[in-house]
A and B are shown apart, each in its own frame.
Chain A
Amino acid sequence: MTLSRADVLEILGLLDDAAFDELILRTDRWTLTLRREAGGWTQESAVTGRPVVAENAVGAAAAGVAPAEEAPGGEGQHDVRAPLPGTFYRAPKPGDPPFVELGARVAPQSVVGLIETMKLFTPVTAGAHGSVAEIVLGDGEFAHHRALLLRIEPDRS
């Protein structure tokens, strides 16, 4: 919003006495929509001007925006996927041994990693009885929502 709060209140003061229920202001830098609703006025504002990014910038590509291609897994393997987007950690704390290594035996509730999203850690569970057949994502790498983290070779009964 490039108008100050005081500016918006002044505009609102003009509108309040008028017979209008909506005002849309649009410039090449921003838009502001004021609406009279049952409980009072609301605003919806958008800064539309593009940022002026200094030349040493590396471009707008956020880390790992494009999900990586997935190689097909072995037949019957169980995919463990990220429950949330975030940073994937293979160990409980830096310096600790990983939750699981290749070949580790797991049960459905076995914790095989953590996803850090918005400063909160969500445990990732194996979801199947079996052994770890492949570790797809490395420690500290970014996981997209539903990104493939590991593959489990399920026990055959």
Chain B
Amino acid sequence: MSIHRLLVANRGEIAVRIIRTCRALGIETVLAASEADLDAVPARLADRTVCIGAPLAYLSVEKIVEAASSVGADALHPGYGFLAENSRLALACAAAGIIFVGPSAEQLDALGDKLEARGHALAAGVPVLPGGEVADHRSATALARELGWPVLVKAAAGGGGRGMKRVDGEPELAQALDIAIAEARGAFGDPRVYLEPLVTSGRHVEVQVLGDGARTIHLGDRDCSIQRRYQKLVEEAPAPALAPPLRDEMRRAAVALGDRLGYRGAGTVEFLVDVERGTFSFLEMNARIQVEHPVTEEVAGVDLVAEQIAVAEGRPLRIAQEDVVLTGHAIELRLNAEAWERDFRPSPGTITAAVFPVGERIRVDTHVQAGSEVPPFYDSLLAKLIVHGSDRTAALERAREALDLCRIEGVATNLGLHRLILRADEFERGGVDTTWLPRFLDEHRIVSISTPGGNGNG
């Protein structure tokens, strides 16, 4: 069934991104916007906007589905974050006769439960870190001894760094376990936790997959190791400095997992690469479009949102694995409204100027322009600067030039931090692990000068 009117159930740059593809495909767009976003750029771009109420209404399945029904939308794109991986939304859409642009509710449940996802990965022959579910102190102690310290206690319903606790030794374990179980019950309504060994030197590499329910293909890998507190800052495709056999194995593993699930839609299989051992392990699979999808689009020449829509319409994949040609290297910089020199303090406010580079192999995905409000209710992403080059060196050079042309005024931004990162020797060599950015920040004395925020609720 082809889609004629699509409800964009999201905000910010991804809403703009979805509207852009819909326009190219001739699909009418209706934006679901909160009161805080009614005059934002996505609302100005959409064919129509429907107000869903308070700032956090993006988290309400009922309001979103009501909005879709009230405008007669035949499909709904959830973007990323908010309800993107919520099986209740997928089910409610089905009940209302609306196509959910994403995987099936069963697939969302299977991947949202990190223990179940681990089980599927194991069954698909994908390397998984040792470990498993623990229910009490005794089983946890036995397992932790077997794994070796330090270990991570993870919530089955967590993911993306949420609901994780590091435990360095046996004396801390009992208390950490109790807290983790209580927090998991409070935050996710699911007290199950599991243990994994903590890999101290790891790279975060992920594989983009696309499935139509019968067949899965991959569109190469991305490296997302430049992160701080699980917030990615720079991403690139392909992952630099990976041994070809390791890369091939990861791509095969991702496709095997997609095939096992009969996956339908765009998905990302995240792996932790153990740099010292030259091995990789499954972390989780994200059942949605990701923030960093443009680097894959630039090297693969594929519009991932268009492919999501095509398989949601029930069509078979239009691309065969052998048609996937990855060319050159792409880098994405996340430009955020945060005062990075002041402990990354968030900086909501009014944008007074937004100037971006334009040219061949330069892409800017943004939702801000002069006059835009950056509300305090949502994440701090203002724009993504994506560059492509014939190789990594060329892409890096272009990224530096393009970054110097960016000018965002009215709120604090992390442009200066990106300038430092792009000129750091280790980053330039490629292949740093996830401990690099925090260390780099420390070395540049970009450390807390205020009391650190964050109590894990976000």
Contact = CB atoms under 8 A, between A and B. Distances in A.
B370 interface: yes
B249 to A, nearest CB: 35
Nearest to A51: B43
B453 interface: yes
Interface stretch (A56-64, A100-108, A130-138): A56-64
B348 A85 contact: yes
B401 interface: yes
A56 B70 CA distance: 9
Contacts of B363: 5
A2 B16 CA distance: 11
Nearest to A5: B363
B370 to A, nearest CB: 6
Interface residues of B, number: 63
Nearest to B16: A1
A51 B53 CA distance: 16
Given A54-B71, A56-B70, A121 B371 contact: no
Interface string A43-76: 1111111111110111111110000000000000
Interface size class on chain A is 35 or more
Contact of A37 (B43, B405, B451): B405
The residue in A58, A117, A125 that gathers the most chain B C-beta atoms within 10 A of its C-beta is A117
Contact of A118 (B20, B33, B337): B337
A57 B50 contact: yes
A59 B35 CA distance: 7
B457 A93 contact: yes
A40 B405 contact: yes
Interface string B38-59: 1101011111111101110000
B370 A44 contact: yes
A97 interface: no
Contacts of A156: none
A40 B357 contact: yes
Given A62-B375, A84-B345, A94-B186, A42 B355 contact: yes
Interface string B385-406: 0000000000000000110110
Contact of B455 (A4, A58, A92): A92
Contacts of A40: 357-359, 401-402, 405
Given A41-B358, A42-B405, A84-B346, A121 B453 contact: yes
Interface string B331-368: 00000011000001110100001111111100100000
Contact of B38 (A4, A53, A84, A114): A53
A110 B451 CA distance: 12
B24 A93 contact: no
Contacts of B290: none
Contacts of A2: 45
Interface string A29-40: 000001101011
B440 interface: no
Contacts of A39: 357, 401, 404-405
B113 interface: no
A54 B53 contact: no
A46 B45 contact: no
Contact of B379 (A1, A53, A119): A119
Interface in B242-269: none
Given A4-B20, A44-B353, A53 B358 contact: no
B54 A120 contact: no
Contacts of A1: 45
A40 B455 CA distance: 43
Contacts of B451: 122-123, 125
A53 B201 CA distance: 50
8 contacts: A40-B401, A42-B405, A44-B353, A53-B50, A62-B55, A84-B345, A119-B346, A119-B379
Which 5 pairs between the two chains have the least Cβ-Cβ distance? A57-B51, A118-B346, A51-B43, A119-B458, A43-B358
Given A12-B359, A62-B35, A120-B454, 5 more contacts: A12-B358, A41-B359, A56-B51, A58-B53, A86-B348
